[in-house]
Amino acid sequence: MSATDRIRGAIRDVPDFPKPGIVFKDITTILNRPDLFRETMDLLEARWKGSGIDVVAAIESRGFLFGAALADRLGLALVPVRKSGKLPADTHRVEYELEYGTDSLEIHRDAFPSGARVLVVDDLLATGGTAEATARLVELAGGRVAGFAFVVHLAFLGGAKRIGGYDLHFLVEY
């Protein structure tokens, strides 16, 4: 069995969370197995080591778990992308559409030097709204998106099309 098969096998489906009809892909069942979390990080590290990125931007909140570990392994700066109202210093803010209503994300204006090559990390790509908003934030802050890394890709939701111009990396696809 390959590492990706082991990771896929460990991800827990939780039906009807956070609301009816959604099948939530729970990655806490990777985190609570040190061997699997290490294998997950090994795959992310192998893909992005030596790829010329300068900064890892991690999306709140499950993106922090993988993004922080990856930044540490690569010896790179870590930048949190957070829900509005959480970051204390001056920010850029981007609103994006949800199924019902809108949400917004922020990044510190001085998060990285202008021209920095930024890898965006999150646990899962669904419709791509969150990832697309994060790409806009990185660019507003003067960075260049070097790629996206996700543990899980829900391919049937079309998110990869929305961020299709970028280098995309997934460990497990559904």
Q: How far is the CB of 53 from ligand AMP (least distance, A)?
A: 20
Q: Which of 74, 105, 120, 129 binds ligand AMP (CB under 6 A)?
A: 129
Asked, as a colleague might, if the bond just before 61 is cis with ω within 30 of 0, I would say yes
111 binds ligand AMP (CB under 6 A): no
Q: How far is the CB of 111 from ligand AMP (least distance, A)?
A: 19
For residue 64, report the phi and psi dihedrals to the nearest 5 degrees: -60, -35
Contact 126, 146 (CB under 8 A): no
The question of whether 173 is a catalytic residue gets the answer no
In this complex, which beta carbon is closest to ligand AMP, that of residue 100 or of residue 115?
Answer: 100
Q: Which of 4, 77, 127, 136 binds ligand AMP (CB under 6 A)?
A: 127
The question of whether 12 is a catalytic residue gets the answer no
Q: How far is CA 55 from CA 96, 100, 119, 121, 134, in A?
A: 23, 32, 6, 11, 14
59 binds ligand AMP (CB under 6 A): yes
Active-site hit among 39, 62, 82, 106: 62
Q: Which helix (H) or strand (E) holds 108?
A: strand 102-108
Beta-bridge partner residues of 155: none
* Binding-site ranges for ligand AMP (CB under 6 A): 22-25, 59, 62, 122-131, 159
Which residues are marked as active site?
Answer: 62, 99
